Chain A
Amino acid sequence: MGRVDEATFAAFHARSAPALRAYVYRVVGNSADTDDIVQEAFLRMLRANVRVDDEEHWRRYLYRVASNLIVDRWRQRKVEQGTEMKQDPASIEPDHENDAAVAQIFSELKPRERALLWLAYVEGESHAEIGASLGVGRRGVRVLLFRARRRLRDLLEARGILVNR
């Protein structure tokens, strides 16, 4: 087992950065914070000297660091401004009307709920994997995810998107 070299890191970065960026952007909702968080997550991964033979471990580490940074920033903003992180207009008004509605509904969830739903549905992670990414126990993930899905269901119902109950 050796340490990661620059070429291996560049290849890993190319494979994982777009997905990580999409995750952070959808949870955070603005470009400036997304750039900072993604960059800081990769830097911390490199500084942690993760072993070269386990790319899944890198990925998990990256998502955990990014998730922690998102939560830190969110708390910091709440203390500083008494508000949550601002969403870019671009994040809630994409190409056409339906996309805008989707982005708007998703932005109404709390950052942690957005992170949980993204990891579960988009990344297809198990409860244990989500727990490892967010630093929450497996049982905690189950409960938090239940609440996030229920909240999303309520939002969809309120907008008339979910009518088949």
Chain B
Amino acid sequence: MTEWFDLNPDEERAVAAFMSRVANLRIPDSVSRIADPAALWNKAKLIQRWDAERRALRPLDIMQPIEIAGGLVAAGLLLYWSLPYLLRSL
């Protein structure tokens, strides 16, 4: 339990009594529109699956631009090396 160090006993009693009344205030029924646990469970599992898929695909997403860049560099080098032969054959 919390240790108090400031208010005098009367003030402390009044604050505690007030908070006990706050705790007992009625919560309107409209606040019970929360999804049931089964729906929450399914939604969480679905999101977890999406997260797992995203994690699994991340290496592919990272590698794709690297592969394209590598291919372009290789094509450029091939063209550079073969250019003299191509020009000679024309």
Q: Write the residues of chain A forming the contact surface with B, with a CB cutoff of 8 angstroms.
A: 6, 9-10, 13-14, 17, 21-22, 25-26, 31, 34-35, 38-39, 42-43, 46-47, 49, 88, 90-91, 94-95, 99, 102-103, 105-106, 117-118, 120-122, 124-127, 130, 142, 145-146, 149-150, 152-153, 156, 161-162, 164-165
Interface residues of B (CB under 8 A from A): 1-8, 10-11, 13-16, 18-23, 25-28, 30-35, 37-38, 40-41, 43-45, 47-48, 51
Task: Chain A residues near B48: list those with CB within 8 A.
Answer: 46-47, 49
CB pair B15 A31 closer than 8 Å = no
Q: Which of A9, A90, A117, A126 contacts B1 (CB 8 A)?
A: A126
**A-B contacts, 14 listed (Cβ < 8 Å):** A6-B41, A9-B41, A31-B31, A46-B48, A102-B25, A117-B22, A118-B22, A125-B2, A130-B2, A142-B5, A153-B15, A156-B18, A164-B10, A165-B10
A165 and B8 within 8 A (CB): yes
Chain B interface mostly: helix
Q: Which of B4, B6, B22 has the largest count of A CB atoms less than 10 A from its CB?
A: B22
Contacts A31-B30, A165-B8 known; list 6 others, CB within 8 Å. Answer: A10-B38, A13-B40, A21-B34, A122-B19, A124-B1, A124-B2
The distance in angstroms between the C-alpha atoms of A46 and B26, with both chains bound, is: 29
Q: Which of B5, B14, B18, B30 contacts A90 (CB 8 A)?
A: B30
